[in-house]
């Protein structure tokens, strides 16, 4: 039986593996269905990971992480986990190839995936002007104009965040009112450099080999508007990768938030003894590499404390 099964090999899973093995746990396996590294591997520019002075690609940032972990004995099994169950005191990790692995502790690090809005050019220019993360990419548009798409809390908060960095923010929303906290809406309205583009959607983004040159919007009456911006941030929801926690009767293995995130305390403990969460999958995750890594370390230290 494994001392610890880690599900997902992004920054949270890898750091959990590093701390767990270096902290003395013997049988630790990280189940990752692809290459270890996580969603940041899709980013072309990262400049907010502490200690990294130059802008690096996500791949460059993550490249040394697996080797560092493996040095202390972390094992990587390239496999998709279908389900995690608990029977008596033992966890059962069921892989999509049918194999079943038993573990004393489990840390879920399966991350999240921002939803795509579905407009023309979104995929082509993703990472080259189309972004889903203002904290990550906002600074690349310092003193420039940008667009934000969305009408919920995240979209409005990020529009305010960007308005501190960018010269102007066009906030595009398909309705004439927002579904966000009244205080957040008030903050948006206070900002002179946020222009609302309501009852409108994005028809397409266009650009050249260097990146985005503009965003074409269309309102409910069919009128088009050409915003000459080099960047658009889309906040149209987030899929939390929580499928492994679904039980045969449709319930979740542990307590979840209304948004499908795992509810944890400050030690990354869930409502189930021996089950932990780390990274984007947990409630109130800042969705940053440094925070996911920190969660992984915290969770692993808890597993070690539990195993003493």
Ligand X SMILES: Cc1cc2nc3c(=O)[nH]c(=O)nc-3n(C[C@H](O)[C@H](O)[C@H](O)COP(=O)(O)OP(=O)(O)OC[C@H]3O[C@@H](n4cnc5c(N)ncnc54)[C@H](O)[C@@H]3O)c2cc1C
Q: In terms of CB distance, is 125 or 170 closer to ligand X?
A: 125
Choices 97-105, 181-189, 264-272, 289-297 (CB under 6 A): range interacting with ligand X: 289-297
Q: In terms of CB distance, is 2 or 188 closer to ligand X?
A: 2
Q: Based on the shown chain and the rule CB under 6 A, indicate whether residue 205 belongs to the binding site for ligand X.
A: no
- Retrieve residue 263's tokens: 């509810």
| Cα distance between residue 64 and residue 145, in whole Å | 36
Q: Based on the shown chain and the rule CB under 6 A, indicate whether residue 270 belongs to the binding site for ligand X.
A: no
Q: In terms of CB distance, is 150 or 279 closer to ligand X?
A: 279
Task: Report 240-259 residues binding ligand X (CB under 6 A).
Answer: 241, 244
Residues recognised as catalytic: 133, 136-137
Using an 8 Å Cβ cutoff, are 194 and 160 in contact?
yes
Choices 141-149, 209-217, 282-290, 298-306 (CB under 6 A): range interacting with ligand X: 282-290
Q: Based on the shown chain and the rule CB under 6 A, indicate whether residue 46 belongs to the binding site for ligand X.
A: yes
Q: Binding residue for ligand X (CB under 6 A) from 288, 294, 300, 302?
A: 288
| Cα distance between residue 192 and residue 95, in whole Å | 53
How many residues are there in the chain? 308
Choices 37-45, 86-94, 172-180, 195-203 (CB under 6 A): range interacting with ligand X: 37-45
Q: Based on the shown chain and the rule CB under 6 A, indicate whether residue 121 belongs to the binding site for ligand X.
A: no
Residue 262 is given by DSSP the state B
| Cα distance between residue 43 and residue 106, in whole Å | 28
Q: In terms of CB distance, is 147 or 292 closer to ligand X?
A: 292
Q: Based on the shown chain and the rule CB under 6 A, indicate whether residue 217 belongs to the binding site for ligand X.
A: no
- Retrieve residue 223's tokens: 């009128």
| Cα distance between residue 51 and residue 49, in whole Å | 6
Q: Binding residue for ligand X (CB under 6 A) from 1, 24, 34, 267?
A: 34
Beta strand 28-32 with 2-7 is: parallel
Q: What is the dihedral of CA 199, 234, 204, 220, to 10 degrees?
A: -10
| Cα distance between residue 265 and residue 240, in whole Å | 18
| Cα distance between residue 218 and residue 288, in whole Å | 33
3-state secondary structure of 20: helix
Choices 21-29, 138-146, 174-182, 285-293 (CB under 6 A): range interacting with ligand X: 285-293
Per CB under 6 A, residues contacting ligand X are 7-13, 31-34, 38-40, 42-43, 46, 48, 80-81, 109-111, 127, 133, 136, 241, 244, 279-280, 287-290, 292
């Amino acid at each position: 039986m494994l001392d610890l099964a880690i599900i997902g090999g992004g920054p949270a899973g890898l750091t959990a593996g590093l701390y767990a093995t270096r902290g003395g746990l013997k049988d630790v396996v990280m189940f990752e269905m692809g290459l270890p590294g996580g969603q940041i591997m899709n980013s072309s520019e990262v400049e907010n990971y502490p200690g990294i002075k130059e802008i690096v690609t996500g791949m460059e940032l993550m490249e040394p992480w697996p080797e560092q972990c493996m040095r202390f004995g972390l094992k990587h099994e390239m496999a998709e986990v279908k389900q995690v169950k608990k029977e008596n005191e033992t966890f059962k990790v069921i892989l999509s190839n049918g194999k079943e692995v038993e573990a004393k502790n489990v840390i879920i690090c399966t991350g999240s995936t921002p939803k795509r809005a579905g407009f023309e050019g979104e995929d082509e220019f993703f990472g080259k002007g189309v972004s889903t993360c203002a904290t990550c990419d906002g600074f690349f548009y310092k003193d420039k104009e940008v667009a934000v798409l969305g009408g919920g809390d995240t979209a409005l908060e990020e529009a305010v965040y960007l308005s501190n960095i960018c010269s102007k923010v066009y906030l595009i929303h398909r309705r004439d009112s927002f579904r966000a906290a009244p205080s957040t809406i008030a903050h948006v309205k206070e900002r002179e450099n946020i222009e609302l583009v309501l009852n409108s959607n994005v028809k397409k983004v266009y650009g050249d080999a260097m990146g985005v040159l503009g965003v074409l919007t269309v309102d409910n009456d069919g009128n088009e508007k050409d915003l000459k911006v080099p960047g658009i941030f889309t906040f149209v929801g987030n899929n939390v990768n929580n499928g492994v926690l679904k039980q045969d009767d449709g319930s979740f293995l542990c307590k979840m938030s209304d948004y499908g995130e795992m509810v944890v305390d400050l030690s990354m403990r869930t409502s189930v003894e021996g089950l932990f969460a780390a990274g984007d999958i947990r409630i109130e995750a800042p969705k940053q590499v440094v925070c996911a890594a920190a969660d992984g370390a915290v969770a692993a230290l808890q597993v070690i404390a539990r195993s003493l």
